[in-house]
Every structure is written in C-alpha cells, then in structure tokens.
Structure 1
Amino acid sequence: MSAIQWKKWLSKAVGRGRRHKLDCLMVALEIPWDLMIEILTRLPAKSLMRFKCVSKTWSLLIRSRYFSNLYVTVASPRRPPCLYMKPRESQLLSLSSSTSNSVESFDLDLTMQGMGGHDMVVLRGLILYMVCGKACIYNPTTRQSVTLPVRPVIKFSQKVKGCDESIIYYFGHDPVLDQYKILCIVSTLLTSINSLTSEHWVYVLESGGFWKRIGFDCQPHIPTIGRLCISGVIYYLAYVSLSCYVLVSFDVRSEQFNMIQVPKELSGLIRDNPIGFIEYGGKPAIFDQTYLIQMGKVDLWVLEDGGAWSTKSLVLQPCQMHLLNESIKLLVRGTTQTDEVILAPCKLFSNYYLLYYDLRKNDLRKFNVGLTSDHWFGKPYADYILFDKNESILHLET
C-alpha cells in the first residue's frame, strides 16, 4: 500500500465529519502525505507513542500494521538497546550517546517486574520469553505484553517416571503474509527404553489466535542451540542421537520442516564447546571459536543454497591477540547488521566489554561498556540479549 492509498483509507476511516478537518490540516502544513510518513518513520518510538494523542488520524496511522512494518525496516540513527535479565525482574538498558567510539554506556530505561526467565528470543524488536511454562510476547518500545494461551497437552508428553521433557519456543515472521508465528517443540526422551518423541505446535500471533498441532515428517529430535529467523524461515540445531546433529529449518508460511546433516567435524564441538549459531550474509552459519583465545583461529561454516556447507578459517592478526584473555570465557551473542560477530564475557564485571569480530575484514574491535550500576557484577545467573535491530511499534493482539 502506497502513502497515497493509505491517506485515502485514513480519510474514509475517520469519517465524513473528520475528512474536511484532515484536508485542512494537510493544506495548512503544506507537507505531502508521503513526506509526512517519511518524517514520522525517522522519529524515536517514544515520540510516536505521544503523537498518537494528536488526532484519531495519527493514532490510526501509528497503530497500523502498514506503518509499523515501515518503521521497523527504515534505516535510522536509533541506537540498539541492551536487555539484561535476572530471575523475577528484567531491566532494559539503552545505549547512551558517547563522544568516544570505543566506549558504550548503558542507562536504565525500564524495569519490567515479573518478566523473568532466561529463555528469550528477539525478533524485529519483539521479545518472546517464558514465565511459569507460558509463552509471552513483550514489546519494550510500547511496553505492551501479551500472554499466549496454554498449549494443549498430549498424553505421551505428560510427566512419567524416567521421562525427560524439553519445551522450546521459536519466533518467526513471514514477510509475504506479514504474519508472526510461534513454534513450540516438545521433545520427550524415555530413558528406560531409549525412545525419543517430539510434537510440534504453531500459534499465529493475531486476534483469536490458537495453538495448532502440525505434522512432522522428519526424525524426532531435541533442539540444542540457535534460534534464527531469516527471510521467513526459522533455523536451529538439534540432535537425533548422541552422535548425530542436524540443522532444522521451518518455513513459517508453509509450516514445513526440513533437516540437513551437520558436518561430522562439528558434531563433537556442538556437544562439548560453546560454538555460535549466527546469521552471516543472510544465511545460517556455525561460528567455531574453539581455538580463538589460544591461537586466534576461528572456523566459519555457512549453509549455502542447495543444502551444501562451505567453510573457511580465519586467523587474527598478532597485534590483536592482546584483546583476548585466557581467563575470560566468551560467548557468541549474535551478529550486527553488518555481519560482525558479537562476543561477550560470560559474567558481568566492572570493566565489562564487548568484542566485535568482522569476518569480512578479519578484524577484531573492543568496546568498553559503561554500566550505571554494580548490581549485575559477578552474578553468574544474569542473562542478557544484545539488540541490533530497529525498534518495533507493533500493537500486539492475541
């Protein structure tokens, strides 16, 4: 829908009595409607939330799916926030402006009581998390939260002796139909007979949404790491046996699964080492940092079109090895929009920092992080997600 078509729709939506007022307003401002929308997409989300009170027209526009999709895709100078988590409470810390390119300072933006747990997924500015076994969606920009209905329970997934059950949620978006879907995978391992089963559920995030069980033609599996959504496809790593790992893809629109064998060289690493599952060049990739700290070496495995894996090795320049510390364990926290891998220490401390590894230039950069409080320092249970996507102003419905 173009800006002109949207203006016509709004004109009808506000009614005949308001139409003349809308036209007068546009003439008085002497700003074309498409330019007005362009200006609004460049504004901070907090300003847009206030502007909903200007008029019914502005409220309809800002709350519309058309504008929220435009807003999340338009490049802007808005800087990504950082979300720190701890049990029973979450704190959203936003990046503050800094004159130095080597220091990133975070200020407390919002405290979210009752939003606990460590099982978080971020997609297009929205957060999927679990509370007491229930899946919830939170928009930190609009501060709106919704709790999804309880998923039906199938007999074999009920707790029995010798039964290990895992429930994992994934978050996906179909860009064609503009639908958000939550995928739930329930894996059950009966240790007494070494039997593995799994069931799969999908929830469409919309008014009147409900859980729907879907068919699965592949092997039962237990998800391990990775929650990517790239061009309408969810990707994650899983194992079908202790020695066999696979990459699972789920098409959000068709709701079809596919499995691709992970290279044998990586099976042991996935089980025993903190590798990273990232998006690289618009494709799922495995980032192996096993020898990064000791030798400055990383291996990158990329899933190419057609299901084949490509691999390349990178070795850091000797002058950058001082950025690594043998006593500090690093975890992969995602990638930036320019395909830089974000590496962060496992625990928070006073001189906390982030490492950005540019795989294209084979360059490592260090950013010192200024935390406004020592509340988090040294706490092993603190979990967090680094945002590198634009904010979302989507109005949530269930």
Structure 2
Amino acid sequence: MKREKRQRIEANPIPLDLEEAILTRLPAKSLMKFLCVSKTWSSIIRNQRFVNSYYAMSFQSLSAAVHKPWLMTGVLYLSNASSCQSVHGLIGCISSFPFIVCNPSTNKFTTLPCAGARTSWGYDPVGDQFKALTMVSYPHQPHDSLVYEVLTLGGGESSWTRNRFTSPPHFTVTKSKCINGFVYYAAWTPTRTKSPVIVCFDVRYERLSFIKAPMAVVCWEGESILIEYKAKLASVARHPHADFRSFDLWILEDVTTHDWSKQTFELPFSLGMGRNITSPGTNKAGEIIFAPKRLSNDVQPYYIFYYNVDRKDMRRVWLLGIADDEEFRRRYRITGQCYVSISPQHVESIASL
C-alpha cells in the first residue's frame, strides 16, 4: 500500500498555476529555450496573460533593487543610431531609415515599414499595444497640415496595422519621450520662429494636442532634453556651448492648465561641454542621470553620473569593459563616432515581435 501511494504521488503532475509561477521567475533567455521543451510550456510562455505577468514581475524586481547601480542604469546600447528608446521592455532604435524594434531579452528584432525618417515609439497600457508614430509629410508652407502615420502591434493583432491622420503644422526640435500612454516631444508652431509647445500624442486614441511650454523647454535638440521625472514630463535645460556646471529642471505640473515649475541646480563639478552630455532620465531612487553622448575615440573610462536633487550631490559610476577595453572595441568594431543610448528603467519582457 505504501508503494502504491508513493507511486500515485510521484505520478501527479505539477499544478499548472505553480508551473506558471516558476516560469515567471526565470530569465527571459531561458524561457526562449524552454519554448522547445513541450507544447504546454510553449503555450504558457506565448500566452499574453503570462507575458504581462512576466513584465510585472520584472518591474517589481527592478524596484526592489534600486540600490544597485548596474540595475538602475538598465540597458546600454552602442551604435550609430541617434537614439534608442526603451518602452515597456521593447527598444525602438532611430537612425533615419529603417526604424528597428528589438527585444534584448529574447534577441529578436524586426524592421518597421515606416514611411518617414522621424519616428516616435510608444505604448498603450490599456489596449496593450505598441505604436510607432511617423511624420510622413513636412510642411512646404507655414500653414500646411502635417500627415502622420501610425503603425500598431499588439492587442491581439499578429501583424502591423497602418493608420494615417493629419495635424496642425509644427516643427519638431527634440527627441520624444513616452510616459504612461502618451508620447511627448517639443516643437515650434506653426514654424520654428513661433510659439513653443509640447506635442502630446495619445497613443491609445491616436490624437495630437499641443501644450504651451516655456521657451527654455523648446530649444534646439541638444540644449533641452525631455525626461520622465516622478511620472511627469520634465525638461533638463543647460547651455550647450559652456561648461555643464548647472541646469534648469522644468516640470509639467498640470497637463490641463499647462502649468510648469522650474528649479535650478548647481553641480558639484563640471561634466564638460554641455553639448556632449545628455540625460536619459532618472532611476527608481529619483536621481537624475547624466552621461556622455558618445564613447571617446581612444581607450578611456566611461562614466555615468547620478545627481541627487534632495541632497544636491552627485556620484559617478564607472562602466567597466565598455570604452576602456581594447579587445571590446576591436571585437565590436568600435571606431569613429559611437553613440551611447541608456535606458534607465528598462525591464525584461518576452513580448513577441
């Protein structure tokens, strides 16, 4: 009887909910290998509910590790692309044509058939959809309307869908930033000599609206930088042709009333020329991150700086093996201008492309 009971116990499979709980705690690269283990595991891992649960677990793990600098920094990319943006676990790389989306957790990527060179990357958390917003036509006259194209992936769709709409004329001057289902970028309207605004794209409903902004927020790219600060849109403004020893932090306090606040901070030491330094945003501790835009041409340490706005102090973290390793440079053919893109709060995702 004891042997029969033992055999019955050993034959009982692991409950499905327990299998799912175990799988959510494994690295994404391991999950991609486990797709081949069985049809059951493949079905679990590819299920959208599991994908969302895995993302949530990854986000909680990142939140619990805010005191580890290498996790606070997130993903770092070296390329000739002008910008790489992490949105909900997927990276959109902008380098004129084409627009490339990749998932570093699964080593998968896809090229989007965007019809224009200026593309913004966004995510709708309600509909669970990724969208790429591309300006298709540029105004020939100051009052010409603009044509935008939206490519959508997700929400049960297995391929990209395309939609177009028009907007009032404006001239974009900064990179975009996606925050809680809205994509923001700075612009002049209707031309580069007129009113400064923040263009707000509602990712879910695919609508554009304008938010009045201070002149300092809407400067040429390289002078002011849009970031997410405490779940709000903010701008880091500094002089591009002077030593980076101070900056203004503009925060959009109210989207409805277009109310902005401003704080000025003095850095404990210079970070070099302002045009050579950018800010990818903040970490979970609320520290503002500063970093060089490019790697040095020769072998030198690459530092990331964390500024604490409460204590008004700054620390630096040396990223070993990136710019200071000749073998690394040779292996990845790093020569000439090499841009650095940092995603401060990137988390793992197993979303399919």
Aligned match for 1:60, one of 43, 47, 70: 43
**Do residues 202 (structure 1) and 112 (structure 2) align?**
no
Equivalent residue pairs, number: 319
Q: Which residue of structure 1 lines up, in the alignment, with residue 341 of structure 2? A: 385
Q: Counterparts of 1:311-350 in structure 2 under 5 Å?
A: 311-316=261-266, 320-321=268-269, 324-325=271-272, 329-349=276-296, 350=300
The answer to whether the Cα contact below 8 Å between 2:295 and 2:340 also exists between their aligned partners in 1 is no
Identity of aligned residues (%): 31
What is the distance in 1 between the residues matched to 2:292 and 2:244? 18
TM-score for the superposition, normalised by structure 1: 0.70
Q: Counterparts of 1:37-186 in structure 2 under 5 Å?
A: 37-74=20-57, 75-76=60-61, 79=71, 80-86=74-80, 117-129=81-93, 133-149=97-113, 151=115, 167-186=117-136
| Structure 2, unaligned runs of 5 or more | 1-8, 66-70
Q: What is the deviation of 1:189?
A: 4.1
What is the distance in 1 between the residues matched to 2:217 and 2:309? 19
The answer to whether the Cα contact below 8 Å between 1:128 and 1:171 also exists between their aligned partners in 2 is yes
**Do residues 288 (structure 1) and 288 (structure 2) align?**
no
The answer to whether the Cα contact below 8 Å between 1:187 and 1:196 also exists between their aligned partners in 2 is no
Q: What is the deviation of 1:194?
A: 5.4
What is the distance in 2 between the residues matched to 1:327 and 1:221? 27
Alpha-carbon displacement from aligned partner over 1:301-327 (angstroms, at most 9, x marks no partner): 11123243332324347xx32x63469
The answer to whether the Cα contact below 8 Å between 2:149 and 2:164 also exists between their aligned partners in 1 is yes
The answer to whether the Cα contact below 8 Å between 1:297 and 1:313 also exists between their aligned partners in 2 is no
Aligned match for 1:252, one of 177, 182, 203: 203
Q: 1:301 to 1:335 in 2, by over 3 A?
A: same
What is the distance in 1 between the residues matched to 2:45 and 2:77? 25
Q: What is the deviation of 1:360?
A: 4.1
Stretch moving more, 372-381 or 308-317: 372-381
SS of residue paired to 2:138: strand
Q: Which residue of structure 1 lines up, in the alignment, with residue 352 of structure 2? A: 395
Q: Which amino acid aligns with 1:276?
A: I
What is the distance in 1 between the residues matched to 2:275 and 2:82? 21
Q: What is the deviation of 1:186?
A: 2.8
Aligned match for 1:264, one of 183, 203, 215: 215
SS of residue paired to 1:347: coil
What is the distance in 2 between the residues matched to 1:44 and 1:345? 30
Q: Which amino acid aligns with 2:179?
A: I
Q: 1:327 to 1:225 in 2, by over 3 A?
A: closer
Q: Which amino acid aligns with 2:223?
A: P
SS of residue paired to 1:214: strand
SS of residue paired to 2:220: helix
| Structure 1, unaligned runs of 5 or more | 1-23, 87-116, 152-165
What is the distance in 2 between the residues matched to 1:377 and 1:142? 23
Aligned match for 2:252, one of 303, 311, 320: 303
The answer to whether the Cα contact below 8 Å between 1:337 and 1:389 also exists between their aligned partners in 2 is no
The answer to whether the Cα contact below 8 Å between 2:123 and 2:129 also exists between their aligned partners in 1 is yes
Q: What is the deviation of 1:282?
A: 0.8
Stretch moving more, 126-135 or 382-391: 126-135
What is the distance in 2 between the residues matched to 1:132 and 1:226? 13
Q: Counterparts of 1:214-225 in structure 2 under 5 Å?
A: 214-216=165-167, 219-225=168-174
Q: What is the deviation of 1:286?
A: 0.8
RMSD of aligned Cα (Å): 3.2
Alpha-carbon displacement from aligned partner over 1:66-90 (angstroms, at most 9, x marks no partner): 122222222226943311113xxxx
TM-score for the superposition, normalised by structure 2: 0.78
Q: 1:327 to 1:228 in 2, by over 3 A?
A: closer
Q: Which residue of structure 2 lines up, in the alignment, with residue 108 of structure 1? A: none
Q: 1:278 to 1:53 in 2, by over 3 A?
A: same
Q: 1:273 to 1:392 in 2, by over 3 A?
A: closer
What is the distance in 2 between the residues matched to 1:386 and 1:295? 19
What is the distance in 1 between the residues matched to 2:164 and 2:213? 27
Q: Which amino acid aligns with 1:200?
A: Y
The answer to whether the Cα contact below 8 Å between 1:274 and 1:331 also exists between their aligned partners in 2 is no
Q: 1:378 to 1:146 in 2, by over 3 A?
A: closer
What is the distance in 1 between the residues matched to 2:221 and 2:275? 18
Q: What is the deviation of 1:129?
A: 3.0
